[in-house]
Structure 1
């Protein structure tokens, strides 16, 4: 199979790429990514990829502009080397929060990123837990949208967070559908927090809809950025009588004061996946646990390569 498939990793996701290659059973593709003295990115593919299905694993996390540009250049290099298919695997899709015009004279940057990937030569894109599902419609090439739900559910079950003694809480109205899916599987009730955002990164809890008294609460979100929303929600849930509060999110952006806020919060544990490398954050936060998406993404890669359905991965 090594002659038919090659998996390349960008600088943003080295550990995840290594795990994925191990699951798929192929060595990591050879590519050299370097920079000129002025910061320009240079990519050289170190193997023959003519007619080969190539997969590039690169989260567009911090620094998003560098990681995005690196991926675009790598796609162009593979296209000019006559690769068969070029699949952009973007575990964390940066700029996903800019999926619509929030006020006049503002961009829709998620659409711009979609156009850039397509123009560079990507033939397919795969991502995990988009911030806004409609971003799939920005692409004129096939897009596979995976969910980290099974990975987080296993963590909740190991912790015994199932049944009527548990309540799943959405930290805002926009995440209700996501939280409802978890509550259905865990056979527990659902609660929703009415959040008002006064400015980017600043939010306040106004109301809690649902009963959390005496229950262990799980806050569910797609990402944790500065952790302001998460910690405010956890505090509100405890004030309404919850016995303990946990949190689970696919993408641990954890920027700015996030780690300090989590350490000082009432949260007992926070689960995130490795779609974004956490580096030293786990050592700085005893409450943080990182779950691997390598098998999920690796299975999707195998099925895409062999032309098999990946619909069962959406369960």
Structure 2
């Protein structure tokens, strides 16, 4: 096995390598003056299994091109297998035609990853599960729920209620609530336009309780902060949030800093800039052991789904 890292999240890659007790592979990534990307693998991988860790987070297009170029290089270097480890899968929100004459970009990205040479993909908490079917190669989609469950259990659960920020996240929230043996509530909202959300109603008993919002990602934090205000206005004693992917773009930092949210807990699938951490509202849990164990099982042809048994 050889484990390589793109530039999207080298710290996560280093932590995964530590978990696996291996050294990261040698990889030279260069950007020319016209912004073209050049990659050279610095060691032989002929006949070996190559794993590349690369979230396609912002700048999404650069990170995606890095991933594609690496896989092409690995294929031409005669790697036996090429596994793309994509902790955060960018373009996942474009998984269907939401309007007339629009693309299904998640399918396009899946096709490009396959064409570049990937023989397997490992990702975490895909925004839309059916994206796995966009590939004609094996895709393992693992979940951050065990990481969140352990963290939440470290505190009193007497007054906790798990809250889905929208109807689409009910299955995720219900699954975690069941593991924790706590109640569930739902924020019913309507989104008038992209990146904006209007809070409509709260379904469930949240008065005087610690509400924990659960989502797969937080982007501009508009939905999160709006849900926080709605829950507190309706009697919640405190509101925290857990999300696998901290996209946190645009006005997210300012919104979080000015919100009444107690804290936002995310994983390290996306590296966070200083401006986000300086809000004092964000806490990061590492996904390295979970990803590392999944990689180990893929390499040794063991079950990945049994991670959750």
Contact preservation (8 Å) 2:214, 2:242: yes
The residue number in structure 1 matching 2:177 is 183
Determine the C-alpha separation between the residues in 2 that align with 1:81 and 1:24. Answer: 24
Q: Secondary structure at the match of 2:191?
A: strand
1:14 corresponds to which of 10, 32, 45: 10
The residue number in structure 1 matching 2:246 is 252
Find runs of 4+ consecutive structure 1 residues off by over 2 angstroms. Answer: none
Contact preservation (8 Å) 1:129, 1:222: yes
Determine the C-alpha separation between the residues in 2 that align with 1:187 and 1:134. Answer: 28
How many aligned residue pairs are there?
309
1:90 corresponds to which of 64, 86, 92: 86
1:221 corresponds to which of 208, 215, 219: 215
Q: Secondary structure at the match of 2:197?
A: strand
Cα drift, residue 18 of structure 1: 0.3
CA RMSD of aligned residues (A): 0.9
TM-score (norm 2): 0.98
1:34 corresponds to which of 26, 30, 36: 30
The residue number in structure 1 matching 2:46 is 50
Cα drift, residue 159 of structure 1: 3.0
Cα drift, residue 143 of structure 1: 0.2
Determine the C-alpha separation between the residues in 2 that align with 1:274 and 1:255. Answer: 15
Alignment pair present for 1:273 and 2:283: no
Cα drift, residue 282 of structure 1: 5.0
The residue number in structure 1 matching 2:187 is 193
Determine the C-alpha separation between the residues in 1 that align with 2:294 and 2:47. Answer: 20
Cα distance, 1:77–1:281 mapped onto 2, change above 3 Å: same
Report matched runs for 1:61-100 at 5 Å: 61-100=57-96
Cα distance, 1:36–1:139 mapped onto 2, change above 3 Å: same
Determine the C-alpha separation between the residues in 2 that align with 1:186 and 1:237. Answer: 21
Determine the C-alpha separation between the residues in 1 that align with 2:118 and 2:206. Answer: 46
Determine the C-alpha separation between the residues in 2 that align with 1:303 and 1:130. Answer: 20
The residue number in structure 2 matching 1:262 is 256
Deviations for 1:106-128, whole angstroms, at most 9, x for unmatched residues?
Answer: 00000000000000000000100
The residue number in structure 2 matching 1:234 is 228
Cα drift, residue 283 of structure 1: 3.6
Contact preservation (8 Å) 1:282, 1:289: no
Deviations for 1:22-69, whole angstroms, at most 9, x for unmatched residues?
Answer: 001110000101022211110001001001111000000000000000
The residue number in structure 2 matching 1:106 is 102
Determine the C-alpha separation between the residues in 2 that align with 1:265 and 1:240. Answer: 16
Deviations for 1:139-181, whole angstroms, at most 9, x for unmatched residues?
Answer: 0000000000011111212232x24x11111010000000101
Single out whichever of 5-14 and 254-263 deviates more from structure 2: 254-263
